[in-house]
Chain A
Amino acid sequence: MGRTVPSITLLYQEELQSLARFRRALRRSDQAVFDDLLAAAHQHLAAASYASHTLPFEVFLLAMLLEEHKEVLRLRGLVEHA
């Protein structure tokens, strides 16, 4: 409503759309992993919006990495305390 710049949610949806062919060609098992990555990007939409980056997909990639690294740290913690 009255916005000139598309909202971050809209940009996220557009990126999803643009990757639809890529996703379709993946194996079913890989599709699930791919969806996990995109869900990780969704988790940080607020920060991506605030960043107002001209190439939002770069920020989405960073958000995926961030979640991946969180998981690495969590697993490392489990191993070290085991």
Chain B
Amino acid sequence: MPDRTGWLFDLYTDPRDGLVLWLLEEGDERTTPHRLTQSFPVTFYAAGPDASLRQAWIWLSDQGVRLERTERTDLFLAAPRVVMAVTVPNAFTQPRLFARLSQAFPALEYFDADLPVSLRHAARFGTFPLGRVCVTVDDRQAVQAITPLDSPWEIDPCLPPLHALRLEPDCDPAHAEPQFLLVGCAGRQYRFSLDPPRPLLLNLAALLRRHAPDLLLTAWGDTWLLPRLLEMSRGAHIPLPLNRDVGRGVLRKPQRSYFAYGQVVYRGAQVQLFGRWHLDIYNTVMYHDYGLDGVLESSRVTGLPAQQTARCSPGTGISAMQIVTALRQGVLVPWRKQQAELPKSALDLLYADQGGLVYQPIPGLHRDVAEIDFISMYPSIMRRFNISPETVNCSGEGQRVPETNLYVRPDPPGLVPLTLAPLLDKRIALKHRIAKLPNWHPRRALYKAQAAAHKWLLVTCFGYLGYQNARFGRIEAHQAVTAWSRECLLRAKEAVEDAGGKVLHLYVDGLWVQLPGAAEKEAFTPLLEEITRRSGLPIALDGIYRWVAFLPSRGDERISVANRYFGASQDGTLKVRGIEARRGDTPPFIARVQMEMLAILAHGEHPGDYLERQIHLLREGKIPVQDLLVRQRLSREISHYRVPSPAARAAMQLEQAGKHLRPGQCVRFLHTLGKPGVWAWDRPEPFNPATLDLARYRTLLLRAAETVLAPFGMQVAPQISFRLPVGRATPQDNWVSQLIQVL
């Protein structure tokens, strides 16, 4: 039996072969894909009253499965649990069998019942997407043994060169009907007319066969392109080999909208392939943030296939990691969790049911401010204090959580800390490497993408701890984390004040501080060490601002807001939060002007001339209309708006043009003169630039300019002259006067 060494590329269930694995075998020039099969029986469990279990046993006995009475660990119970183990020989048939069983016996509790097959494989063999493996196969290409050769926690893994074919229509299909398909492959570009379909399909099929790409990277592939190509292929009777696995059709999932983290999220329809990946750059979560490298890293660490990782939220990813830990530990993974909150007194609830500590910063302009952050604070707390659903209790066992009546058992290590530990270590190792590499280094971008992918997994990990439907969520664990975070932040504040410093702002896991006479990194090192000593958590200096401005609320300038500030660091980079340039609904032109004004201020120069030039360009109609587009998300169905907002009015125009937008989708529009005051950008008719409401854009621009100038004591007068302040600046701050003199 020969051994093959390569990368595990894809893995899915198959009606005939049970499990199909795609191996990219290492070669001299490029990898060779192999379709392998594996016999992979899967087991799920049922628990409940004996009588019901007996009936379920009888029901299952003629379904071709193996049944066994056994004991397993339930994370939420002290003693092992008696369960019925159901082993299904072909993993493909398990979901359907389970659906029928749960319908017939809805009162039973089920475990390990709805797990992705890739996670079961990961738990049993230590495999993961794009992990290197050595497989032993027989003559029929059936896997007899599989050994992982690397781990997802490797910092510099050896990855296969993936061959991508890029497909993109010549324009946004939501905006206008595309006429051409642009194809990029092996360094060459092709342009095919979408009509008539026959030559397009023949050419595309030939390219797919000749180049045999591993990956189709498309623009609007999920929502428009692939469904359209498949429709053309059916109509013209010309097969299009999108899949590598020729025996399978493509997997299509419908579009949906849902409510998460305070906003409505829209997920477009999906088209997934077998033996080849399809990633739609506009339907890939966080693609703008971490790109393909981040998707691959997410897939490797979560164990979910790349096509799925690209389209699911980081919460699903962290959940997947916890499932793998549970499977490896022999812990039951609940199908539908039945866990109620522990009873508490009203006062206990008052103390425990709080979030992170957030200060109202001291408004105004401040000089030489250090921003120090606890590194991945919440996950670090979970790990340091062993916070997990099964370790937190109200019965007084273990260490008390500050200011609450909750306790945490320090050992054995909890499921959540066990899952997080390698991820946290890898993230910290990557951060150290990033800090050492120069900006031009090619590995820097890769490490940053990977660290960004980890960040989102770690962020959602905390949310999932308190999410009642999460399999391993428990509100008390969530409360223990926030209680420790408040405690650690207060200890940090006390350390700063004991060192003679001033805390300008606290925000959940970060502090903005001034130390007398300290303006260099080294001056803050003793403080960082002291905070780590007092809190037990790693903390890092994020940077030192030459100046930072905390802004008041738009509505009332006496009230400061936690997350509205901007500053220039010592190396000249700008950090902005909560101002127009950061908002998704600010036209790109206004965002750009605001950032440029900040850059000018960071150089110690006056942005007045620049602003006047931009206003002149706007008035002359020299700003491209695309740069004036406002982009807003619809929060509900159009018919549900009582007073239609500009976004709703734009969506109504699209509705009239036959384009229906769902809640969570974005609409792009321009402000125009007269009624209805907006022009939906994706309307089919051409736009007349003479109707642009330039006065409105000018007002928006001046407002953005005012945000930047106000902390420097300057105002933008209606006729765009700059007045120096009368009493807004603080004359006792010498450097403000100096800055104003420079300006």
Contacts and interface: CB of A to CB of B under 8 A. Distances in A.
A49 B506 CA distance: 14
Contact of A50 (B357, B468, B475): B357
A54 B347 contact: yes
A5 B559 contact: no
A52 B345 CA distance: 14
B350 A5 contact: yes
A5 B506 CA distance: 22
Chain B: interface size category = 20 to 34
A5 B357 CA distance: 15
A2 B360 contact: no
A35 B559 CA distance: 10
B349 A5 contact: yes
A42 interface: yes
B184 interface: no
Given A1-B262, A5-B354, A46 B359 contact: yes
B354 A1 contact: no
Given A5-B350, A50-B486, A52-B351, A42 B357 contact: no
A82 B358 CA distance: 38
Interface string A1-21: 111110100000000000000
A42 B360 contact: yes
Secondary structure of the A side of the interface?
Answer: loop
A43 interface: yes
Nearest to A9: B358
B355 A46 contact: no
B674 to A, nearest CB: 38
Given A42-B559, A43-B560, A46-B506, A5 B261 contact: no
B620 interface: no
Contacts of A35: 556, 558
Interface in B69-97: none
B109 interface: no
Interface in B467-490: 467-468, 475, 486, 490
A46 B505 CA distance: 11
Given A1-B262, A44-B360, A50-B486, A39 B353 contact: no
B373 to A, nearest CB: 17
A52 B354 CA distance: 9
B350 A54 contact: yes
B466 interface: yes
A2 B358 contact: no
A5 B341 CA distance: 14
Given A42-B360, A46-B506, A50-B486, A5 B558 contact: no
A71 interface: no
Contacts of B559: 39, 42-43
Contacts of A54: 347, 350
Contact of A39 (B349, B467, B475, B558): B558
Q: With a 10 A CB-CB cut-off, give which of A7, A43, A44 has the most chain B CB atoms.
A: A43
B507 to A, nearest CB: 10
A1 to B, nearest CB: 6
B665 to A, nearest CB: 22
B556 A5 contact: no
Contacts of A44: 360
Interface residues of A, number: 18
Given A1-B261, A42-B559, A52 B357 contact: no
Contacts of B403: 52
Contacts of A1: 261-262
Interface string B589-624: 000000000000000000000000000000000000
Interface in B227-248: none
Nearest to A45: B360
A36 interface: yes
Contact of A3 (B347, B353, B357): B353
Contacts of B486: 50
B357 A46 contact: yes
Nearest to B351: A52
Interface in B549-588: 556, 558-560
A4 B349 contact: yes
A50 B558 CA distance: 22
B353 to A, nearest CB: 4
Contact of A43 (B353, B357, B360): B360
Interface in A17-60: 35-36, 39, 42-46, 49-50, 52, 54
Nearest to B362: A43
Q: With a 10 A CB-CB cut-off, give which of A5, A35, A36 has the most chain B CB atoms.
A: A5
A49 B354 contact: yes
B565 to A, nearest CB: 16
B672 to A, nearest CB: 36
Contacts of A36: 558
A1 B354 CA distance: 11
Contacts of A46: 357-360, 506
A50 B506 CA distance: 13
Contact of A7 (B262, B355, B467): B355
A68 to B, nearest CB: 14
A50 B349 CA distance: 13
Nearest to B487: A50
A56 to B, nearest CB: 10
Interface string B496-516: 000000000010000000000
Nearest to B261: A1
Interface of A: 1-5, 7, 35-36, 39, 42-46, 49-50, 52, 54
Given A3-B353, A3-B355, 11 more contacts: A1-B261, A2-B466, A2-B475, A4-B349, A5-B349, A5-B350, A39-B558, A46-B360, A46-B506, A54-B347, A54-B350
13 contacts: A1-B262, A2-B466, A5-B349, A35-B556, A39-B558, A42-B360, A42-B559, A43-B559, A46-B360, A49-B357, A50-B490, A52-B354, A54-B347
In the A-B complex, list the 8 residue pairs whose CB atoms are closest, starting with the nearest: A39-B558, A5-B353, A46-B359, A52-B350, A52-B351, A42-B559, A43-B360, A4-B353
Interface of B: 261-262, 347, 349-351, 353-355, 357-360, 403, 466-468, 475, 486, 490, 506, 556, 558-560
